[in-house]
């Protein structure tokens, strides 16, 4: 059985092609998204939501966002063991594989994994290695924008068109220009930033809160109070999501027995995020320039 896997910076998910359409597979908790987090709980390794919960209460016991370090020599210590980024990714893949086997009722041996279009050769090799460590035969890596364009093509038919796919994920930004014709998807240009994603917008809110919403004795440093700053970051993530639907979001964080209340408007958030949004614009312009196209062609 072959499955398709989106190995993401923040969340990952697995799906299968069944009865002429893609079907996303829920995990053991009934959720489609599995957090890309690994944590140590007194010698036992946790993966997914349990690891994310552990990361909030014991931030030094776990790790996330390791996709950003794929293909590098970075090492992370959890408990008594040291892991490379591909080792950590393999744990997430192994969890997705188990969920797929439980859902399908048969062994899963092969996988197609999506990667950012801007991943270099070392990052792609590390992703394949992670799949092999998870017990999967990774026959092919498919770029995330191409996967999105193919899905779009299935929905719209064979009409010829030029597509720009902008994939701002949790940790990476991909921009691809693709020409769709006669069932063929031709990549005209790619650009991106492997160090820009939704996590950076969350960090922006968290750091602004820490700078502005000080308690009576100031805000302790992250080094001295890691659990406090993990809680702040979790609140920042919730506030970011709330601002997608509301004009104002509030954060309430317990600091030494007192609740620190802080509010952020959507307008203020957009002002704070201008440097990040400027970084989003650069790959858009570069892709158009490389393909020698103007926006009117899209």
The CATH number covering residue 8 comes to 3.30.420.40
Per-residue DSSP letter, 223:
T
249 forms bridges with which residues in the sheet? Answer: 264
CB 111 within 8 A of CB 148: no
In a domain, 33, yes or no: yes
Give alpha helix (H) positions in the chain: 49-57, 85-104, 121-133, 144-156, 198-212, 226-242, 266-272, 274-291
205 and 140 inside one domain? no
Q: Among 83, 114, 145, which residue terminates a domain?
A: 145
- The answer on pLDDT for 32 being more than 70 is yes
Instruction: Specify whether the CB–CB gap between 31 and 49 falls below 8 A.
Output: yes
Distances (CA, A) of 174 to 8, 59, 97, 145, 147: 13, 29, 26, 7, 12
| pTM over cut 0.85 | no
Average pLDDT of 281-288? Answer: 94
CATH number, domain of 237, equals 3.90.640.10
Residue 122 has pLDDT above 80, yes or no: yes
Pairing mode, strands 11-18 and 21-25: antiparallel
Q: Which residue has the higher pLDDT, 245 or 146?
A: 245
Q: 3-class DSSP state for residue 238?
A: helix
Residues designated as active site: 6, 67, 144, 167
| 152-188 exposure pattern, b = at least 16 Cβ within 10 A, e = fewer | ebeeeeeeeeebbbebbbbbbbbbbbbbbeeeebebb
With a cut of 80, say whether residue 159 has pLDDT above it: no
Q: Give a yes or no: residue 180 inside a domain.
A: no
Domain region containing 114: 2-145
Mean pLDDT score of the chain: 92
Give the model's pLDDT for residue 157. Answer: 62
Question: Distance (Å, rounded) from C-alpha 206 to C-alpha 6?
Answer: 27
Three-state SS sequence of 48-109? CHHHHHHHHHCHHHEEECHHHHCCCCCCEEECCEEECHHHHHHHHHHHHHHHHHHHHCCCCC
Task: Give the pLDDT confidence score for residue 128 in this predicted structure.
Answer: 97
Let me know if residue 188 belongs to a domain.
no
pLDDT of residue 160: 83
Residue 73: inside a domain = yes
Q: Is residue 252 part of a domain?
A: yes
**Mean pLDDT value of segment 186-191:** 88
Domains in the chain: how many in total? 2
CB 61 within 8 A of CB 41: yes
- The answer to the question of residue 245 being in a domain is yes
């Amino acid at each position: 059985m072959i499955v398709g896997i989106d190995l993401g910076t923040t969340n990952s998910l697995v799906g299968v092609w069944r009865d002429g359409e893609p079907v996303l597979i829920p995990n053991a908790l009934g959720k489609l998204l599995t957090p890309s987090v690994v944590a140590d709980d007194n010698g036992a390794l946790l993966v997914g939501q349990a690891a994310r919960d552990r990361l909030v209460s014991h931030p030094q016991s776990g790790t996330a966002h390791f996709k950003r370090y794929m293909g590098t020599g970075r090492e992370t210590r959890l408990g008594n063991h040291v892991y490379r980024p591909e080792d950590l990714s393999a744990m997430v893949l192994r969890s997705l594989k188990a969920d797929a086997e439980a859902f399908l009722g048969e062994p899963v041996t092969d996988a197609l994994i999506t990667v950012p279009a801007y991943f270099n050769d070392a990052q792609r090799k590390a992703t394949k290695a992670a799949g092999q460590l998870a017990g999967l035969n990774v026959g092919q890596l498919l770029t995330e924008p191409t996967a999105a364009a193919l899905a779009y093509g299935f929905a719209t038919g064979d009409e010829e068109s030029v597509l720009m796919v902008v994939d701002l994920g949790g940790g990476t930004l991909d921009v691809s220009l693709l020409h769709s014709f006669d069932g063929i998807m031709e990549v005209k240009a790619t650009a991106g930033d492997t160090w820009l994603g939704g996590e950076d917008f969350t960090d922006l809110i968290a750091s602004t809160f820490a700078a502005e919403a000080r308690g009576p004795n100031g805000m302790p440093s992250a080094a001295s109070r890691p659990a406090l700053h993990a809680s702040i970051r979790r609140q920042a993530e919730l506030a970011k999501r709330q601002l997608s639907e509301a004009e104002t979001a509030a954060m309430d964080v317990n600091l030494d027995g007192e609740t620190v209340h802080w509010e952020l408007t959507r307008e203020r958030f957009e002002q704070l995020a201008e440097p990040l949004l400027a970084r989003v614009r650069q790959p858009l312009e570069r892709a158009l320039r490389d393909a020698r196209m103007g926006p009117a062609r899209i």
